[in-house]
A and B are shown apart, each in its own frame.
Chain A
């Protein structure tokens, strides 16, 4: 009962942001198609829309970043346990990610159909961009939706994990992580890898990443595992979180 209300509240909380996001996306697409139609035959105008669905993934990363503090306080005020709060996050995230994956795949399909007729703009969805698979059948359309769903879940989970981690840390820890992680990834590791390991670390990492995303199914599996790990870590952070003033 409480879980239903908690999920309903989370969906309500995200509704406005999602609506604005799609108004912007549709407006940008409409503007591009209109501009392209008005400039038909003018070879100076060439545009491209690629991996439209990734815009949603980035948007959902931001949604994930904003999915903890305010809702946690609201739920604590209204007698919702941390367990129910976390389950509501998982359920609402799954619902939002699948709905957005469906809308994105439809938009990518429409975009591709229009550009095929209109010319001037080149459009391809994420599955075509990453794996060269054209969405020309129900099978590839469904594959595109499922792929987008898993990418969306992974991005949201990453955002949620970062926000819960920062919530649990004190000021010193926040500063340490904010400076330490970028410094480690972009300065210390590259230098150490070059000087001490002859580039083996980053070559190996690139190999792992390539293998993890080499086809749509591996990409889905990798996103699923990543999401699972991030959600498990987030739960460990949420279960003992205290309300801060």
Chain B
């Protein structure tokens, strides 16, 4: 069975239940957005998948083989974490050299080329890199490692707008030329919404949405107008949330919009708005 399979995974850190019975499949050659608020359990899930930490319960497998303590399966995965796990005294060029040893498919020439594009000095020691360049170094490594599953945890942490734009362009180029599964965990939902195909939303350790971006966004829409008009419109409909500002009200509604509503403005829902409504503390559908 192909793909990355997470089955009934739970993890607790002291009093905090980081993951609750999480089950999810990540299929081949797709770009996933793993979205969640701070502390939702995104990094914990990625760390369990790559064997950095152990789940209390449940299992993780890749192409039918259990991942933890399996070198052959681990060589099909690469995770760019929020933290730098390379030795502090190692230079960027040495890190690339060793990555090539551990992952023979690593494209060192491309890594040098991308370093030049990003302005990363490959002779620098990793410990001397700024937060942004430390992220760039790990990003370049992840983009050149050429494995079937690449997990990116907060990949654009500390990157300026130009570098973020460059990263997204390179990622799309890479995906077009050499498809692989990318799982991107990020807070910058607006920026990645155009890239990701599949959306996985995690809230308080539980997966609350797992479907294609198109399918998810097509289920909701926004309706705005005077309070009384909006209240009249949403009566009897499934409402995700609503906001009032002065005399105007915006409601986020599930279903198909009624186009015969002359006093109301109906618009598509964007991923960030939907995410906020689904993951805020009072999130949930009301009728």
Instruction: Give the B-binding residues of A (Cβ under 8 A).
Output: 1-2, 5, 8-9, 13, 70, 73-74, 76-84, 240, 242-243, 245
Chosen A-B contacts, 11 in total, with CB atoms closer than 8 Å, are A2-B102, A76-B51, A76-B52, A76-B85, A77-B81, A78-B99, A79-B50, A79-B71, A81-B68, A81-B71, A242-B54
Q: Out of B53, B71, B75, which one reaches A242, CB within 8 Å? A: B53
Q: Are A2 and B85 in contact (CB under 8 A)?
A: no
Taking the closest CB of chain A, its distance from the CB of B73, in whole angstroms, is 9
Q: Are B101 and A8 in contact (CB under 8 A)?
A: yes
Q: Are B77 and A74 in contact (CB under 8 A)?
A: no
6 smallest CB-CB distances across A and B, nearest first, come from A79-B74, A78-B102, A77-B85, A73-B85, A243-B52, A242-B53
By beta carbon, the residue of chain B nearest A3 is B71
Q: Are A70 and B87 in contact (CB under 8 A)?
A: yes
> For the complex, is B212 an interface residue (Cβ under 8 Å from A)?
no
> For the complex, is B78 an interface residue (Cβ under 8 Å from A)?
yes
Q: Out of B54, B69, B86, which one reaches A74, CB within 8 Å? A: B86
Q: Are B102 and A81 in contact (CB under 8 A)?
A: no
**Most B-side CB within 10 Å, residue of A8, A80, A82, A243:** A243
Q: Are B74 and A80 in contact (CB under 8 A)?
A: yes
CA A84 to CA B75, docked complex, whole Å: 13
Chain B 41-56 interface 0/1 with A at a Cβ cutoff of 8 Å (1 = within): 0000001001111100
- Give chain B's interface residue range (CB within 8 Å of chain A): 20 to 34
CA A243 to CA B51, docked complex, whole Å: 9
Residues on the B chain within 8 Å of A1, using CB: 71
Residues on the A chain within 8 Å of B98, using CB: 9, 74, 78
Residues on the A chain within 8 Å of B103, using CB: 78-79
Residues on the A chain within 8 Å of B70, using CB: 81
Q: Out of B75, B86, B87, which one reaches A79, CB within 8 Å? A: B75
CA A151 to CA B222, docked complex, whole Å: 74
By beta carbon, the residue of chain A nearest B69 is A81
By beta carbon, the residue of chain A nearest B72 is A2
Residues on the B chain within 8 Å of A83, using CB: 69
CA A78 to CA B74, docked complex, whole Å: 8
By beta carbon, the residue of chain B nearest A6 is B102
**Most A-side CB within 10 Å, residue of B51, B75, B85, B87:** B85
> For the complex, is B83 an interface residue (Cβ under 8 Å from A)?
yes
By beta carbon, the residue of chain B nearest A76 is B52
If A242-B52, A243-B85 touch, whether A79 touches B69 (CB-CB below 8 Å) is: no
Q: Are B86 and A77 in contact (CB under 8 A)?
A: yes
Residues on the A chain within 8 Å of B71, using CB: 1-2, 79-81, 84
By beta carbon, the residue of chain B nearest A12 is B98
In the complex, which residues 171-214 of chain B have their Cβ closer than 8 Å to any Cβ of chain A? none
Residues on the A chain within 8 Å of B79, using CB: 77
Residues on the B chain within 8 Å of A73, using CB: 85-86
Q: Are A74 and B75 in contact (CB under 8 A)?
A: no
Residues on the B chain within 8 Å of A8, using CB: 101
By beta carbon, the residue of chain A nearest B75 is A79
Q: Are A245 and B99 in contact (CB under 8 A)?
A: no
Taking the closest CB of chain A, its distance from the CB of B167, in whole angstroms, is 20
Q: With contacts A73-B86, A74-B87 known, what are 14 further pairs, Cβ within 8 A?
A: A1-B71, A2-B102, A8-B101, A77-B79, A80-B71, A81-B51, A81-B68, A81-B69, A81-B70, A81-B71, A81-B74, A82-B69, A84-B71, A245-B83
Residues on the B chain within 8 Å of A9, using CB: 98, 101
Taking the closest CB of chain A, its distance from the CB of B258, in whole angstroms, is 50
CA A79 to CA B62, docked complex, whole Å: 14
Residues on the B chain within 8 Å of A74, using CB: 85-87, 98
Taking the closest CB of chain B, its distance from the CB of A11, in whole angstroms, is 12
Q: Are B78 and A79 in contact (CB under 8 A)?
A: yes
Q: Out of B78, B85, B102, which one reaches A5, CB within 8 Å? A: B102
Q: Are A79 and B85 in contact (CB under 8 A)?
A: no
**Most A-side CB within 10 Å, residue of B51, B68, B70, B78:** B51
CA A82 to CA B67, docked complex, whole Å: 12
Residues on the A chain within 8 Å of B47, using CB: 243
By beta carbon, the residue of chain B nearest A78 is B102
Taking the closest CB of chain B, its distance from the CB of A141, in whole angstroms, is 37
CA A136 to CA B47, docked complex, whole Å: 58
CA A74 to CA B90, docked complex, whole Å: 11
If A9-B101, A79-B103, A81-B69 touch, whether A2 touches B53 (CB-CB below 8 Å) is: no
